[in-house]
Amino acid sequence: MAFDRREFLKVSAGVAGATTLGTLAGCATSSAPAVAGANPKVVIVGAGFGGSTCARYLKMWDPKIEVTVIEPNDKFTSCPFSNTVLAGINNMEDITFGYDHVKKVVNNWVQDTVTGIDTAGRTVKTAGGKTFGYDRLVLAGGIELLFDKVQGYNAEAQQIIKHAWKAGPDQTGVLRKQLEAMPDGGTFVMSVPMAPYRCPPGPYERACTVASYFKKAKPKSKIIVLDGNPDIASKKGLFLAAWKKHFGFGTADSMIDYRPNNMPRSVDPKKMMVGTEFDDVKGDVINVVPPMRAAAICAMAGVRNDSSGTWCPIDFRTFESLTVKNVHILGDSTLTNFPKSGSVANNTAKMAASAIVEIFNGREPDAAPVVTNTCYSATGMGTAFHVATVFRYQAAKKADDGKVTPASMVAQKGGGVSKEESELEFAYMDAWAKNVWADTLGLPENFNYTVKG
């Protein structure tokens, strides 16, 4: 039975602060006409928080839409909660899920890599030699990591120095093993890229979770945080309080040595050294996260075209590219003021699905869309804290002097941030993760989660 989209809008508006469903709103009508005759076709590239969610909701809200998902990986691995794997709280298996329930609802599931996109001919080609036509294309590829921006971070170095910013056994799993093998009294050197980057609080949470492991298993060890930003980029007060309370930050015995304005310029895996413009920093385990930009598939489609060629400008009402028609971009790749988070990717995927359904059916979508973000961070000590933000669309305005203020998404009052860490918030974090995984992947109500909350 098809899910009633308008009923969903009413229900989700009441639970925006409680789950990842958030408040969904539609988007403005595109200039492209609705598809007549044959069932409209949507090709979705990428099956993360954005792509899988979009696929599921398209089929729920309009079953006649033919949905094809192209994804190179055979399993979904969650970046949210992956820092708990580094702490030894969870294993990789606990944050890894199959795509079985997404496969059941879409028309075509293609495990392959996209090698070409023709936006004029509306086709997508894969490494396996297949070609798929589309009426609408959805790009949900996340981020591309720019290793060449860090001298020495070549393919050989990447075998030793892990970023773990795309969670997986070859990244998160290997980094965990490196931390386990590190001697007590060793040094873990980690970095924070300059904003904007995927998951703003993630690096500081990583410092917490790794420190919690060291406190228990390697109490003489230290963590050096090389931050490319001038200060802690997210939840500063909460992270500082946690670092002081649990890890002695601000004292001579601090386990965490935080260094702002210290962007890594080079790495040397043989000497186990990270170079900044100030000095060379030696570590027993090195975790460098390079700068990032919109996924490579966005460049293939010609939509990675902001002034720096880094992110994808979009119409906030539809998530359609501002320059390439019939191409929608989700999640981390977009040029917005939203945090690049799993919560936003899941939420905006529904916005895009709603817009596409309305366009195909010749209706006017909601002209005032809303995006919500809920982000929890763990301290690794059985506690967590959160930040929640609501963004509402504001149309472009023309002043009396003729100057135009472009359309934007404006943060609204009524969001908020935790006053302090708590065990209750860690329980909320656990529930949030299970909710967003279930909503993204269509996991059944009786699904057996093994993740420890």
Write down the mean pLDDT value for the chain. Answer: 92
Name beta bridge partners: 404.
398
Return the pLDDT at 453.
Answer: 67
pLDDT digits (tens, 9 = 90+) for 71-94: 999 999 999 999 999 999 999 999
Return the pLDDT at 28.
Answer: 36
Neighbours of 306 (CB within 10 A): 15
Structure tokens that stand for 242 in this block = 């946690």
Among the listed residues 115, 57, 46, the one whose alpha carbon sits nearest the alpha carbon of residue 440: 57
End-to-end C-alpha distance for the chain, whole angstroms = 34
- Residue 4's pLDDT band, with cuts at 50, 70 and 90, is low
Domains of the chain: 5-145+293-440 (3.50.50.60), 148-290 (3.50.50.60)
Cα 78 from Cα 81, distance rounded (Å) = 7
pLDDT digits (tens, 9 = 90+) for 368-416: 999 999 999 999 999 999 999 999 999 999 888 888 889 999 999 888 9
Structure tokens that stand for 113 in this block = 């890599």
Percent of the chain past pLDDT 70, that is, above it, reads: 92
Q: 443 with 437: CB under 8 angstroms?
A: yes
Question: Average pLDDT in the 209-232 region?
Answer: 98
Among the listed residues 29, 75, 34, 30, the one whose alpha carbon sits nearest the alpha carbon of residue 52: 75
Cα 107 from Cα 124, distance rounded (Å) = 16
Neighbours of 257 (CB within 10 A): 15
pLDDT digits (tens, 9 = 90+) for 89-139: 999 999 999 999 999 999 999 999 999 999 999 999 999 999 999 999 999
Cα 362 from Cα 342, distance rounded (Å) = 30
Specify the pairing of strand 256-259 against strand 222-227.
parallel
Q: 275 with 266: CB under 8 angstroms?
A: yes
Structure tokens that stand for 204 in this block = 């500081």
Return the pLDDT at 398.
Answer: 85
Return the pLDDT at 30.
Answer: 41
Helix residue ranges per DSSP H, 97-235? 100-103, 155-158, 174-181, 202-217
Burial class (CB in 10 A: 0-12, 13-18, 19+), 363: exposed
pLDDT digits (tens, 9 = 90+) for 241-268: 999 999 999 999 999 999 999 999 999 9
- Residue 38's pLDDT band, with cuts at 50, 70 and 90, is confident
Return the pLDDT at 5.
Answer: 52
pTM: 0.91
Cβ burial 134-154 (10 Å sphere, 16+ → b, else e): bbbbbbbbbbbbebeebebbe
Structure tokens that stand for 232 in this block = 């802690």
pLDDT digits (tens, 9 = 90+) for 316-352: 999 999 999 999 999 999 999 999 999 999 999 999 9
Q: Is the per-residue pLDDT at 152 higher than 50?
A: yes
Cβ burial 12-23 (10 Å sphere, 16+ → b, else e): beeebeebbbbb
**Amino acid at position 335, single letter:** L
Structure tokens that stand for 46 in this block = 């990428």
Burial class (CB in 10 A: 0-12, 13-18, 19+), 234: buried
Q: Is the per-residue pLDDT at 311 higher than 70?
A: yes
The DSSP code for 46 is: -
Cα 77 from Cα 93, distance rounded (Å) = 9
- Residue 9's pLDDT band, with cuts at 50, 70 and 90, is very low
Question: Average pLDDT in the 22-47 region?
Answer: 61
Return the pLDDT at 162.
Answer: 98
Cα 218 from Cα 32, distance rounded (Å) = 60
256 φ, ψ to 5°?
Answer: -110, 125
pLDDT digits (tens, 9 = 90+) for 48-60: 999 999 999 999 9
What is the sign, positive or negative, of the torsion defined by CA atoms of 316, 318, 321, 323? negative
Burial class (CB in 10 A: 0-12, 13-18, 19+), 240: middle
- Residue 37's pLDDT band, with cuts at 50, 70 and 90, is low
Name beta bridge partners: 282.
273
Specify the pairing of strand 408-411 against strand 384-394.
antiparallel
Return the pLDDT at 31.
Answer: 39
Q: Is the per-residue pLDDT at 357 higher than 80?
A: yes
Cα 140 from Cα 19, distance rounded (Å) = 22
